[in-house]
Chains A and B, each alone.
Chain A
Amino acid sequence: GAGVSQSPRYKVAKRGQDVALRCDPISGHVSLFWYQQALGQGPEFLTYFQNEAQLDKSGLPSDRFFAERPEGSVSTLKIQRTQQEDSAVYLCASSLGTNRNTEAFFGQGTRLTVV
């Protein structure tokens, strides 16, 4: 398909387990963003890639969170030793580039529940 694809759609993890969330952006999109969305809240920025370079990771809440985009296309967000407060929807977005008019295209998200 032509849109941003995220997998899995739903993930249940036991506390302390490691998880990996995948994002497949729109082909040719240079920029890729990860967001965390708590229930009833807006997307909160986690990290940003331009091609394979991670240019901003200021939103990652702890060193348990790690993201990579090794070939400048697919990205993985990894959470180590999951905690209950990590339960949220994780959104991936991509765009052609970044300028003041850039539109971001979002995937459907991965709903992570830590039990």
Chain B
Amino acid sequence: GDSVTQMEGPVTLSEEAFLTINCTYTATGYPSLFWYVQYPGEGLQLLLKATKADDKGSNKGFEATYRKETTSFHLEKGSVQVSDSAVYFCALPRSGGSYIPTFGRGTSLIVHP
């Protein structure tokens, strides 16, 4: 079935470091791809999305490019802040008509001052 695979965490960085969190997907067709973020004590919220191949989603300094040839949607940020510490989830809608959001296991990011 349709699924996403994320790199395991935690990812631990110093403030202003470059961030990459890897995500690859397996899907029928070409689904939209999403990154959600979960800050401590809060629910998941959409960070960014891309709806077709070569699209780049961006928000709050984060970017991810939909790469059909490598079935990837890696999340990047050029300079992380302590406030970016959270758990990041890659997601896609299940095929077959229901489009139920399907999530990866999440990658925890810890940013130190």
Contact = CB atoms under 8 A, between A and B. Distances in A.
Interface footprint category on A = 20 to 34
Contacts of B93: 98-100, 102
A56 B99 CA distance: 11
B99 A106 contact: no
Contacts of B100: 33, 45, 48, 56, 98
Q: For the complex, would chain A's binding face be called helix, strand, loop or mixed by DSSP majority?
A: loop
Interface string A30-57: 0001010000111101001000000110
B45 interface: yes
B105 A42 contact: yes
A105 B98 CA distance: 16
Contacts of B103: 35, 42-43
B51 interface: yes
Nearest to B44: A106
B58 to A, nearest CB: 15
Interface residues of B, number: 22
A66 B33 CA distance: 30
Q: For the complex, would chain B's binding face be called helix, strand, loop or mixed by DSSP majority?
A: loop
Nearest to B103: A42
A101 B106 contact: no
B64 to A, nearest CB: 15
Interface string A56-82: 100000000000000000000000000
Contact of B44 (A91, A98, A101): A91
Interface in A5-31: none
Contacts of A56: 98, 100
Given A33-B100, A98-B100, A102-B99, A107 B43 contact: yes
Nearest to B30: A100
B78 interface: no
B49 interface: yes
A47 B55 CA distance: 31
A93 interface: yes
B105 A41 contact: yes
